[in-house]
Amino acid sequence: MRTKYFIFLVLGLQFLNGFSQTDEVKTAKPAYLTFQTGFIVDGYNSIGIRTFFEYQKDLRENWQFGVSYEHSRHFGFFLTDQLYDLNSNLSQLSLNGYYKLNLIRDRLFWTVGIGAGALHVNWDNNDSFGATINASLTLNIRVTKRIYFESSPLIALAPFNRAYYSPMKIDHFNNFYAFTFFPFGLKVKL
């Protein structure tokens, strides 16, 4: 008998909710889920395969915020200005803010962003943690009504879209820095 009343109550609330919806529902800001891959090169001469996930939400006009998680797995070494090599695996969690620069409104645009977060570096069974900041410039191309292709802003001239910095120190390395290398991915409008 209680189940019958519970079902009646839930259906009644849903019915009333349908009448009480205001214009706020019609003007709800869209959200996006982004997945990117490619490579990441860090200041330890390490290059790794990159996996990047982000939840983004429109705030107003051309402003967005995002929460991202990124991981890279070492597979080789790259040429940077460091004298030593360190086979590093990275994990980063960041809060990001973005501004959309529309070339063709909602079809072709750049997102310019800055963010801050936490960094975890693992090398030879050792761990280090630190704060990190990032800056990004990403090209977005709409493929379908809800799917966008993402890549570096100028693939031929600058094959990266995000750079990181941290004052974290490990062994002979005074600071941490990294940048993406040939990034590409998809952004899905939820």
pLDDT reported for residue 124: 80
Calpha distance 31→155 (Å, rounded): 26
Going through 82-107 in order, the beta strands assigned E by DSSP cover: 89-104
CATH 2.40.160.20 at 28-189, yes or no: yes
- Structural tokens at position 130: 């630190």
pLDDT reported for residue 82: 56
- Structural tokens at position 30: 């869209």
pLDDT by residue (tens digit) across 130-168? Answer: 999 999 999 999 999 999 999 988 766 678 899 999 998
- Residue 6 main-chain phi, psi, to 5 deg: -65, -45
3-state DSSP assignment of residue 119: strand
DSSP bridge partners of 68: 54, 94
Strands 31-42 and 46-60: antiparallel
- Structural tokens at position 64: 């967005």
**CA separation, residue 109 to residues 13, 145, 163, 188 (Å):** 42, 15, 19, 15
Q: Which helix (H) or strand (E) holds 7?
A: helix 2-20
- Structural tokens at position 65: 């915020």
pTM: predicted TM-score of the whole model, two decimal places:
0.78
CA-closest candidate to residue 70, choices 88, 56, 50, 86: 50
Which stretches in the chain have pLDDT values below 50? 1, 5-6, 9, 13, 16, 19-20, 22-24
Phi-psi sector, 92: left (phi>0), alpha (psi -120 to 50), beta: beta
pLDDT reported for residue 11: 54
